[in-house]
Amino acid sequence: KQEVTQIPAALSVPEGENLVLNCSFTDSAIYNLQWFRQDPGKGLTSLLLIQSSQREQTSGRLNASLDKSSGRSTLYIAASQPGDSATYLCAVSGGGADGLTFGKGTHLIIQP
């Protein structure tokens, strides 16, 4: 059974810092990995999708890497801003599961 773990569960940093969010998964037979953002009381916004054959994806200040063999992904946020404050969710497709298997998220606060 696929399990996804995100570390840390919560993170608070001053504005302007670069930061890394971590995600690990137990079954490496995945199709892809998605990073989402969820604001309080809102839905999920897809940030980046990495296919299993890819090593990384970039969008603006965000960079996500994937090491499928070791079951790890990182989301790098450069020059953090208060507007980046949200919960970041990692999810994988495949690995013996139907639909996406989610981690419990990292609650990120960027202090102005």
Partner 1 sequence: DTAVSQTPKYLVTQMGNDKSIKCEQNLGHDTMYWYKQDSKKFLKIMFSYNNKELIINETVPNRFSPKSPDKAHLNLHINSLELGDSAVYFCASSRGSGGSSYEQYFGPGTRLTVT
Contact predicate 109/85, CB 8 Å? yes
> Shortest gap between Cβ of 27 and partner 1 (angstroms)?
12
Smallest separation, CB 98 to partner 1 (Å): 4
Q: Which of 42, 67, 81, 109 binds partner 1 (CB under 8 A)?
A: 42
The 3-class secondary structure across the chain, one letter per residue, is CCCEEEECCEEEEECCCCEEEEEEECCCCEEEEEEEEECCCCCEEEEEEEECCCCEEEECCEEEEEECCCCEEEEEECCCCHHHCEEEEEEEEECCCCCEEECCCEEEEEEC
Q: Between 14 and 41, name the residue whose CB sits nearer to partner 1.
A: 41
Q: Which is nearer to partner 1, 72 or 107 (CB)?
A: 107
Could you tell me the smallest distance in angstroms from the CB atom of residue 66 to partner 1?
13
Nearer to partner 1, 5 or 15 (CB): 5
Dihedral sign from CA coordinates of 51, 95, 47, 82? negative
Give the x-and-dash track for 82-101 against partner 1 (CB under 8 A). Answer: -----x-x-x-xx--xxxxx
Q: Which residues bind partner 1 (CB under 8 A)?
A: 31-32, 34, 36, 42-46, 49, 51-52, 87, 89, 91, 93-94, 97-102, 104-105
